A and B are shown apart, each in its own frame.
Chain A
Amino acid sequence: DSGVTQTPKHLITATGQRVTLRCSPRSGDLSVYWYQQSLDQGLQFLIQYYNGEERAKGNILERFSAQQFPDLHSELNLSSLELGDSALYFCASSVVGGPSTDTQYFGPGTRLTVL
Chain B
Amino acid sequence: GENVEQHPSTLSVQEGDSAVIKCTYSDSASNYFPWYKQELGKGPQLIIDIRSNVGEKKDQRIAVTLNKTAKHFSLHITETQPEDSAVYFCAAGYSTLTFGKGTMLLVSP
The answer to whether A and B assemble together is yes
Q: Is B36 part of the contact surface with A, judged by Cβ < 8 Å?
A: yes
Known: A42-B100, A43-B99, A106-B36. A99 touches B94 (CB 8 A): yes
User: How many of chain B's residues have a CB under 8 angstroms from any CB in A?
Assistant: 22
State which of B17-25, B45-53, B64-72, B74-82 sits at the interface with chain A: B45-53
B46's partner among A90, A100, A103 (CB-CB below 8 A) is: A103
A8 to B69, CA, bound (A): 44
A64: chain B residues within 8 A (beta carbon): none
A107 to B45, CA, bound (A): 9
Known: A90-B43, A106-B44. A99 touches B96 (CB 8 A): yes
Name the distance in Å between B41's Cβ and chain A's nearest Cβ. Answer: 8
The interface centre, meaning the residue of B31, B49, B95, B96 with most chain A CB atoms within 10 A of its CB, is B96
Spell out B's residues near A (CB within 8 Å).
Answer: 31-32, 34, 36, 42-46, 49, 51, 89, 93-102
